[in-house]
Amino acid sequence: MNSTEATLTYTDQFVEPEDDAQRAARHHSEEQGVEPVDHAAASWLRWFAGLRPATDVVEIGGGLGYSALWLLAGMHPRGMLTTIEVAPERQAHAQRQLAQAGHGQRVRSILGAALTVLPRLADDAYDLVFVDAVRTEYPNYLTHAQRLLRPGGLLLVNGALGAGTAADARSDDETAALRTCLGTIRDDPTLRAQILPAGDGLLVATAAGRE
């Protein structure tokens, strides 16, 4: 084992173990070709959702419900997760799994394209927005997230390292959009951001002075 692997093994000891529902959701996502958020990043989702804890959360790109289970695990017991998913069979499956795991009353599952659904959500009404859908739309999600978040709210962006592409000179559409989104966040004096090296990178941002 080299030192990088040894370090990862060491830091993995701090990653919360999956419960049965989370494990099943991850396996099912992988079987269906829906890429779930990395386990270590998922553990961060729970940590951030549990900070205050969050009562109102938006998830963009629900998949089969893996990340939703982690967000719900951290959120306030009476909190409500609004999750947006464009594929009907995925949305229906996630809704069933979340209900079976006892979260039926805590989830508002919306079927639709994120950029159609997001404009219907209220301003200044959410504690946390988690972004995990179409990379080329990340800059647009950012605009909506800034409108949706309450003062001190958190923006979490999955895949911030773009599987290594965020840091190199490639310029395909996905990489360009990811760089635009991350650059906008970095250069915005009203935002304070960090990228956690969990999974494919989890960017965390909050409005400076509004924490």
CB of 61 to ligand SAM, least distance (A): 3
Q: Select 67 or 206, whichever has its Cβ closest to ligand SAM.
A: 67
Task: Please report, as ranges, the residues that interact with ligand SAM according to CB under 6 A.
Answer: 29, 34-37, 61, 63-64, 66-67, 84-87, 90, 113-114, 132-134
Which runs of E-coded beta strand occur in the chain?
56-60, 80-85, 107-111, 126-131, 149-158, 191-196, 202-207
CB of 57 to ligand SAM, least distance (A): 12
DSSP 8-state class, residue 163:
G
Closest C-alpha among 93, 84, 92 to residue 117: 84
Burial 49-62 (b: 16+ CB within 10 A, else e): beeebbbbbbbbbb
DSSP 8-state class, residue 110:
E
Q: Select 24 or 207, whichever has its Cβ closest to ligand SAM.
A: 24
Tell me which residue has its CB nearest to ligand SAM.
Answer: 63
Q: Select 35 or 188, whichever has its Cβ closest to ligand SAM.
A: 35
CB of 136 to ligand SAM, least distance (A): 10
Partners of 56 in beta bridges? 80
Q: Select 201 or 207, whichever has its Cβ closest to ligand SAM.
A: 201
